Amino acid sequence: AQSVTQLGSHVSVSEGALVLLRCNYSSSVPPYLFWYVQYPNQGLQLLLKYTTGATLVKGINGFEAEFKKSETSFHLTKPSAHMSDAAEYFCAVSGGYQKVTFGIGTKLQVIP
């Protein structure tokens, strides 16, 4: 069984401030972890993924996430928020050849 918890359905940050979106997971097997971004009326786009190897993963648009097994976390960060980062972000977990489980999503608002 697997699950994802995203803390905070809405996060607001000022433009230029640090972005931190939290994700905790549970999985009975070594997990594959993903962050997706969704802009209004669009599908989901992969931001970054952790499969194996280096636990700090860099993705597109300056985002990165760190896999911490001891904390069962995969938080998404970006040093400096841009207005174009305003979107909904979904954390997801997979055990490989299994269904992907999504979190409820976090809507990021960037304040000018």
Residue ranges binding another protein (CB under 8 A): 32, 34, 36, 41-46, 49, 51, 90, 92, 94-100, 102-105, 107
Q: Which is nearer to another protein, 43 or 112 (CB)?
A: 43
- The CA–CA distances, whole Å, from 84 to 6, 52, 80, 110 equal 21, 30, 11, 8
The backbone torsions φ and ψ at residue 85, rounded to the nearest 5 degrees and listed phi first, read -80, -10
Min. distance of Cβ 45 from another protein in angstroms?
7
Residue 112 and residue 90: Cα distance in Å, rounded?
23
Residue 75 and residue 24: Cα distance in Å, rounded?
8
Q: Which is nearer to another protein, 77 or 98 (CB)?
A: 98
Residue 98 and residue 1: Cα distance in Å, rounded?
10
Residue 101 and residue 9: Cα distance in Å, rounded?
17
Q: Which is nearer to another protein, 73 or 94 (CB)?
A: 94
Min. distance of Cβ 55 from another protein in angstroms?
16
Min. distance of Cβ 80 from another protein in angstroms?
25
Min. distance of Cβ 89 from another protein in angstroms?
11
Q: Which is nearer to another protein, 2 or 77 (CB)?
A: 2
Q: DSSP character for 35?
A: E
